[in-house]
Amino acid sequence: MSHKRIPKRKAAMAVGGVVALGAAAILLPNANASQDGASDGVTAVPKTLKAGDASDLATRLAGSLGDAWAGAWYDGEDKQLVVNVVRGENTMALKVRSAGAEVRWVDNSMAELEAGAGTLKSEATIPGTSWAVDPRTNKILVTADSTVTGDQWDQLESTVEGLGSGMATLKKSAGTFRTFASGGDAIFAGGARCSLGFNVTAGDGSPAFLTAGHCAAAGDEWSDQQGGQPIATVDQALFPGAGDFALVTYDDPATEAPSEVNVGGQTVPIVQAAEATVGQQVFRMGSTTGLADGQVLGLNATVNYPEGTVTGLIQTDVCAEPGDSGGSLFTQDGLAIGLTSGGSGDCTVGGETFFQPVTTALEAVGATLGDGGAGAGDQAGGQEQGTGQEAPDGQAGAEDQAGAGDQ
């Protein structure tokens, strides 16, 4: 994130240059889908929606469909919201169509899927496992990393089978679930390196930023340079448990913290926080690997890290590596979606990565972002304007250079 008070140095954005430039080419034009102009009222033709609008519509329908609701996902190719409706709920299906979404009939209700997740929690909370409801398959996606073997694998497999046919899918991951903190460059505390997620405005009006909660375990005081003077202090943090987020306030109340993400030579303005939608295309910025993109795979995911269980996360296929922790997950039209928590794999072979929802973190710490608060912002990367150009003093910018620093 950028903040004008901090000295700047030339941003080393070479990291993941091909990935960053390729993803930025997709990201920066803001090629948003337009509304199709469908008339109000019941229509058999789903509306064309941007991902953010689809998320809002999904939230409204979830609150009105009751037991007929079985999740929803965004069809990025057709730019439509697909809503799962339990078979036989014809009246509710009409409500979905009248709202402009496509209906997909399914067998498993959300209540049944959540009950299955509850069984996994009570019988198979094993380090190295995760689960989340996948609305595209109408099943629970259960993942085990490479450390889950022998009796633990047998226990997990037995629990999944006990949920019943058609309720869950069990997948093996080649990597190891871990939080993505490391030593290096970006924002530093106690020898650890993380990435700044989004600049925000704290409840008392002071400038602050969000990052991963597990990063706060390294220390209360954070610097923008390894071994440098502290520029921010942890105010609140949660990890493990019902989230992985921290609010860190800038020590200088005059710090300017713009609401934008540096993607390497250009910035993406962040206008507000938003809920994720399965199927949505998202972009991640981090201090190790720079810019990467992918899709949301599941919501309300539970991840059993070695340090403990974390619930309520977003599951994606976006890659990440140590040092990317806390970095920003956002959309091409400037919606703040998540903070990098952890996962398995890397940006060479891919893997699963989990993110703390920004909306949940903001509510918990009482902060605002983008249009919701003056000076709020989210800069996943460094210097003042995040341009990657050399500053007058020849130093790089900001603390959380997503993609800058130790590239």
Distance CA 110, CA 281 (A): 24
Are 169 and 137 spatial neighbours (Cβ–Cβ below 8 Å)?
Answer: yes
| Closest CA relative to residue 144, chosen from 169, 162, 114 | 169
Assess whether 214 carries a catalytic annotation. Answer: yes
Assess whether 3 carries a catalytic annotation. Answer: no
Are 366 and 372 spatial neighbours (Cβ–Cβ below 8 Å)?
Answer: no
Residues in the chain: 407
Q: Which is the catalytic residue, given 55, 173, 182, 325?
A: 325
Alpha carbon dihedral 159, 163, 166, 172, in 10-degree steps, equals -20
Are 173 and 386 spatial neighbours (Cβ–Cβ below 8 Å)?
Answer: no
| Closest CA relative to residue 133, chosen from 20, 32, 276 | 276
Q: Residue 287's Cα: distance from chain center in Å?
A: 15
Distance CA 118, CA 138 (A): 16
Q: What is the DSSP letter of 186?
A: S
Assess whether 325 carries a catalytic annotation. Answer: yes
Distance CA 57, CA 393 (A): 48
| Residue carrying the six token digits 């999740």 | 71
Please provide residue 206's backbone torsions phi and psi, each rounded to the nearest 5 degrees.
Answer: -85, 150
For residue 317, give both structure tokens.
């296929």
For residue 197, give both structure tokens.
């997620």
Q: Which is the catalytic residue, given 53, 244, 333, 378?
A: 244
Are 356 and 376 spatial neighbours (Cβ–Cβ below 8 Å)?
Answer: no
Q: Which is the catalytic residue, given 214, 235, 287, 333?
A: 214
Are 333 and 370 spatial neighbours (Cβ–Cβ below 8 Å)?
Answer: no
Which sequence positions are flagged as catalytic?
214, 244, 325
